[in-house]
Structure 1
């Protein structure tokens, strides 16, 4: 029992640690702008597109004096909520012209990502819900050693967080692989947007939530086994032990049963209509029956002896 208690504590600690890691990676995913990353080589810049923030960074690579060099500039970010709805009715209007360097430039590409998308708003709601579920699960994991109900709540909240995170990961994977979200048109060619580190953070969060849920299921199973063992031990302790005799038959004394009294002992002073004790009547009837059986036995014996004598005389 001590070993099972230690194993239960270890599994609870592991489940709580995995849940904390899942919550941390979910927070990092929603805070990071790197859900999609595109490298625009002709403009020597890299763009990062997140749920609520977009960033750009200048990346210059070349050869100077026969040596490769790479110059990475600072990252400049803009927030999606910096623009009013009126400015985002047609975000491409200010960059529409007959000049391909303007229509397909990096500023135009940034402008196309400044408006809120429906899936981004949904993720801004769902991911905080997963964080809340994870925090609730961590709180109940601290009390899970006391009652199995707390382990059940922990397991349910871990499952909810895992399901919500799985929905975010799968839906974003499908949306990011659509043509309008996957490819960015440049002046001389098209560039493919890659999955950024924020998506991988969310993927790791899903993995940790699922592992935490599995640990919660194992702890819940340990609680159920321990409860069954306790109930069986209690029943065995409360059930009286019955010994059997050598002939495998139970005696009344071993069963704890009282001897059954006779009719005379139970009703010693019951009389009939004439006032005569029924006890005396039963005793008289018993004596008469005994005398009758004795007389009949003597008659049978005398008859048998006479028959034997007659048979002997006949033989002689």
Structure 2
């Protein structure tokens, strides 16, 4: 098991760390029962974004929930290996082994975390009972570059590199703390503003850490590297396990694309149609798949309609 951490700088008391071959990983377990649920956050997101949800989910006394920071995020150290989907899955497998989790679990993955749990299911099917994919990234995400004009691609918000590079530049020059008021109005706070003080401090600290942006940039690169993701497009070698796909409602997403990207309604509709089509490809991976529409959410479904995720988890368990 991991060791306790009481880091005054991060102001946390219940986060533990465990040493893997390639990195030191920080994590929290919610509940007293056997760990049956593992949450894998999105690109650039730390575990604290999910703490209140893991606590809520674990109120069911039949299982505990593990939430962790990937290498380079939160209190986890940088990794000595490249941030490819395969390596991210390998580190999660090592973490589970260190925590003596040798049975099958339900994996919950948001956005890029969805791509990672897909990779994990392929590599370690003996450890997976089912997947809950929350607005997941597709291995075919590069198709946006083909389907959209160069100008519309820039407006779409699909490419995350520009924002990540700006974040890295600001934090590298220790300017991140000056933008905390702005960060507190951006995701995830834009969608949920009732985080505990401990979680809020952790999230903001992570957002002012250059390594988190550097890691996210590398993760984004490899999740769009055709050589690294080609196998994630194949359907034949995917285990026939329970798969719950939870997607955003087009109306909500289109409103945000129009507002932040300055697109027309027709352009926003095209962008979202591609997004929905890519996500729904996951339904063809398993005969035990189910589509769930989050009727009142855009991308941050876990913060706006968490009950859908809780139900999906318990249906699989």
Instruction: Tell me if TM exceeds 0.5.
Output: no
TM-score (norm 2): 0.25
Task: Pick the structure with more helix per residue.
Answer: 1
- Larger Rg, first or second structure (1 or 2): 1
TM-score (norm 1): 0.25
